[in-house]
Amino acid sequence: MTNNNLSLVSGANGHLGNNLVRFLLKKGIPVRATVRNINNKKPFENLDCDLVQADITDKTSFVKALKGVETFYAVGASFKLWAKDPKKEIYDVNINGTRNTIEAAAEAGVKKIVYVSSIAALDYSSLPTKESNGYNPDRRDMYYNSKNDGEKLAFEWAKKLGVELVSVMPSAMIGSEASLPLNVSYGVLKLILNKKIPVDTKITLNWIDVKDVAEGCYLAAQKGRPGERYILANEKCMTITDTTILANKLYPELKLNVPNSVPKGILFAIAGMMEFSAKLSGKAPVLTRKDIAMFSGLQQNFDISKARNELGFNPKNPEQAVKEALDYLMNNPELLKEM
């Protein structure tokens, strides 16, 4: 493998990371893929990439991995909305990981970083939400906090160390190649198909095909302006209930139950019980009181004209993304099994 235009993708066994590796390889770009656990080779079967072990919490491993790399796609992060110790397991991992990998990239002589942030790092107070709205003032969630503070830190360190950095902000990624455990967004579709959503939470998601996000990351490396942030999402969000109705139309034989509306007080009570059983089992609850407080009724509609105009980003619509993702899950029943 020549080091000409060599790109490195961190978190390459994750949903976006793995689909980005596949996208770059199809473009004929040589790829080095980093994972924490080098023994998990299944996501890389038949992929001609250089697989190396590196952990975002270990800067030295990234200095080594980034040698000879031109473009670094910083995908690797702790992506979960629930943990026993959210500050330690989510916030600290993501903040230290951002600092470690950007320092390592500067030391290794990387030309450009595409930093994968999130729509969590946006201010939703005026709709449709756009990049210039600034950062999310809601500080109730450690994952959200890590994305807001992490992106600010990324821009700050890249500027200080003289590395070009562009930030991309994906919404709820679904579809295409995936392996267990499914990411949070794909997990919602799994809950729908497994009839595990008991009530209408009025929570919305902005569905986006992961392949469109992978292409958006590549376009950001090619055309993105250093120091700028780009939303990689669809214009309109869908409630989980509307997504269930769509799934019912596509798969009438499943006879999915469309969740009923209940008063918010009952939602909080149900979420409280789920949190209590999660503490006992150590498994993430389907719903938390924080989810209801932060997301019930929140409209996740975006102005994506900046990514469209500057990058040429043109995603498939949410209904199509959901249809393809449901088809993928139905064709891969092992992904629908409980873990």
User: pLDDT by residue (tens digit) across 179-210?
Assistant: 888 888 999 999 999 998 888 999 999 999 99
**Chunked in runs of 10, what are the mean pLDDT values of the chain (339 residues)?**
77 95 97 92 92 95 96 92 89 96 97 96 94 94 95 97 98 90 89 90 95 98 98 97 95 90 90 89 87 91 98 97 96 85
Does pTM top 0.85 for this prediction? yes
- Element at 20 (helix H, strand E): helix 15-26
What per-residue confidence (pLDDT) applies to 339?
60
pLDDT in tens, 206-264: 999 999 999 999 999 999 999 999 999 999 999 999 999 999 999 999 999 888 898 88
Instruction: For the chain, give every domain's residue range.
Output: 7-173+208-235+300-315
Task: Kindly state the DSSP code that residue 153 receives in the 8-state scheme.
Answer: H
At residue 158, the pLDDT reads 97
Please report the DSSP string for 184-216 in residue order. HHHHHHHHHHTT---EE--BEE-EEEHHHHHHH
Helix axes 318-331, 184-193, angle to 10 degrees: 70
Contact at 8 Å (CB) between 8 and 32? yes
Work out the number of other CB atoms within 10 angstroms of the CB of residue 185: 21
Task: Give the neighbor-by-neighbor strand order of the sheet with 7-9.
Answer: 50-53, 31-35, 7-9, 71-74, 112-116, 164-170, 229-232
Say if residue 44 is exposed, middle or buried (CB neighbours under 10 Å; 0-12, 13-18, 19+): middle
220 three-class SS: helix
Tell me what pLDDT residue 24 has: 98
Say which CATH topology domain 7-173+208-235+300-315 has: Rossmann fold (3.40.50)
